[in-house]
Amino acid sequence: MRENWQSRKGFVFAAAGAAIGLGNLWRFPFQAYKNGGGAFLLPYLVAVATCAIPLMIMEYSYGRKIRGGSVKAFSELGKKYEVIGWLQVMVPVIVMMYYCAIIAVSLIFMVFSLGHAFGIMNWLQDPGPIMGMVVGSADNALDLGAGMSIYILVAVVFVWLSNWLIVKKGISGGIEKMSSIFTPVLLVMMVVFMVNATRLNGAVIGLESLFKPDFSKIMNPEIWVSAYAQVFFSTTLAVGVMIAYGSYLHEKADIVNSAFITVLLNSSFDLVAGILVFSTLGYLVQNMGVEFTSFGTGAGVAFIAFPIAISTMSSSVVIQGLLGFFFFFCLFVAGISSSISMLESFATAAMDKFEISREKLIGILSLTGLAGSACFASYAGFNYILDIVDSYVGNIIIAGLGLVEVVLISHIYGTEKLREEANRYSDFRVGKWWDYLLKYFTPLLLGAVVVTNIFNIFTGLFKQDSVGVISNIIFGWGAVVIMIGVSFILFNKKWTAGEDKMPLHSGNKED
């Protein structure tokens, strides 16, 4: 018998935890910063209303209806579409490999912060050398002989051990219990850090740079594409996670309200992260004379800028270290809450098709993921290959899958049936406007995102040297080809999980 979430609260916290991740901390703030500041908020909110919420309702509804993950979900539309489901759940497998390497750095800095508190090492005021020691350096993505980070390699073992221990216990016994504790803790702690950051000398400079609207940019199509891309990727849609989570909802669950709460929690975290990041950077700009992008627009914000800011919160080394520990604990929790959802996405799909125990499957996936993460623990892997793989998976595979998913489900299964399914036990009901969004408006906008992303990737190759081009072909397009190839291999395997789980292919009369 299929598991169910034991409470609405547990489900919402798990889904919100899946959507909220390390990327929220820097992606939203810098997307807003470079796309018109406060003017970016309008396209962002439109994207939340017309893309994130409708798709979240769709994935929850369809997941609950078919009682399965992405593979079964697409198989129900027609046998030939099963491969789309496998490609969806291949995304979390690949993403987890490098995502866990980033989580590992959070874990390392947690330990180092305790070392700072006990006077063993003083590093928060100048984290550059420590960061360099942890991640090392390489000349380029092809510099595979540059070395391996023992720090990341050891920490990533602990990260994958955590993933394994939580997910092998199932939905109610593992993921729901963990999320019900850690997701509220994460949200509360990030709000506390945000409030403290707004009190820093220079915070106003940062907040003005983030939120001061530049309406001259608002008619630029690129801003709208960026807003939809931000909302789409930050909500963990189209990678099988929310369909899998929806499949464990009991038949009388309130889908519409749960979808709204999940999306709004994620968007709230985006805003909290934006205020926290730019208040901190405003302090550093005023007091260190640096630029807003001096620490990069990615992990450098969390692992370089924040330790410096934390060191200014108190003159006590002990308090500095403890604050650092709690901050990087927040990052660790954000990472783990997302990584377990990725692991569950593939696990749900695989258990729908193959006769295999959860513990055995999670063990195999964890060992495979650990081997992949070890590759990103290399200096070339962490500093170069990670960004390349992330760019191609996000901009080509995830964006493309989102477009394919909304078109296939809304036109083959039918938005009318989905709307009826969503509204049946929901206090707040969606109307026919939802049908039009999914059938026409959202696909049009996602199509623009996909075309723009592919165009930017191809044109970007012409701006790189030969090493950059070769690196993108090997690691970028290589990752895409591997994902598609493995998806077809799994697609061609026979269903062995039992007749009760086999798809009926009811959505496609040809099958």
Domains, the chain = 8-501 (1.20.1740.10)
The sign of the dihedral angle between the CA atoms of 403, 409, 412, 415 is negative
Average pLDDT, the chain: 89
Tokens coding 91 = 């995304």
What percent of the chain has pLDDT above 90? 56
Q: Looking at 84-88, 184-188, 314-318, 361-365, which range is the least confident one?
A: 184-188
Nearest by Cα to 339 from 134, 173, 182: 182
Q: How far apart are CA 104 and CA 444, in angstroms?
A: 38
Q: How confident is the model at residue 498 (pLDDT cuts 50, 70, 90)?
A: low
Q: How far apart are CA 346 and CA 263, in angstroms?
A: 22
Burial class of residue 74, CB neighbours in 10 A (0-12, 13-18, 19+): buried
Distances (CA, A) of 437 to 14, 51, 408, 416, 446: 26, 8, 14, 12, 12
Average pLDDT over residues 304-311: 87
Average pLDDT over residues 65-80: 93
- At 6 the pLDDT is 80
Average pLDDT over residues 340-344: 90
Q: How far apart are CA 408 and CA 414, in angstroms?
A: 9
Burial class of residue 101, CB neighbours in 10 A (0-12, 13-18, 19+): buried
* 12 three-class SS: helix
Question: Which residues, in sequence order, are CB contacts of 107 under 8 Å at separation 6+?
Answer: 155, 158, 159, 328, 332
What percent of the chain has pLDDT above 70? 97
Q: How confident is the model at residue 113 (pLDDT cuts 50, 70, 90)?
A: very high
Residue 67 has pLDDT above 70, yes or no: yes
Residue 511 has pLDDT above 70, yes or no: no
Q: How far apart are CA 303 and CA 124, in angstroms?
A: 10
Q: How far apart are CA 392 and CA 340, in angstroms?
A: 22
Q: How confident is the model at residue 119 (pLDDT cuts 50, 70, 90)?
A: very high
Residue pLDDT, tens place only, 381-428 = 999 999 999 989 988 898 899 999 999 999 999 999 999 999 998 988
Q: What b/e string do you get for 110-146 counting C-beta neighbours within 10 Å, with b at 16 or more?
A: bebbbbbbeeeeebbeebeebbeebbbebebbbbeeb
Total count of residues recorded for the chain: 511
Residue 192 has pLDDT above 70, yes or no: yes
Residue 260 has pLDDT above 90, yes or no: yes
Residue 509 has pLDDT above 50, yes or no: no
Residue pLDDT, tens place only, 210-247 = 888 888 888 888 888 888 888 877 888 888 889 999 99
Q: How far apart are CA 63 and CA 321, in angstroms?
A: 44
CB–CB of 238/402 below 8 Å? yes
Burial class of residue 382, CB neighbours in 10 A (0-12, 13-18, 19+): buried
- Model pTM? 0.89
If one compares 450 and 498, the residue with the highest pLDDT of the two is 450
Average pLDDT over residues 50-65: 93
Amino acid at 283: Y
Burial class of residue 407, CB neighbours in 10 A (0-12, 13-18, 19+): middle
- At 425 the pLDDT is 87
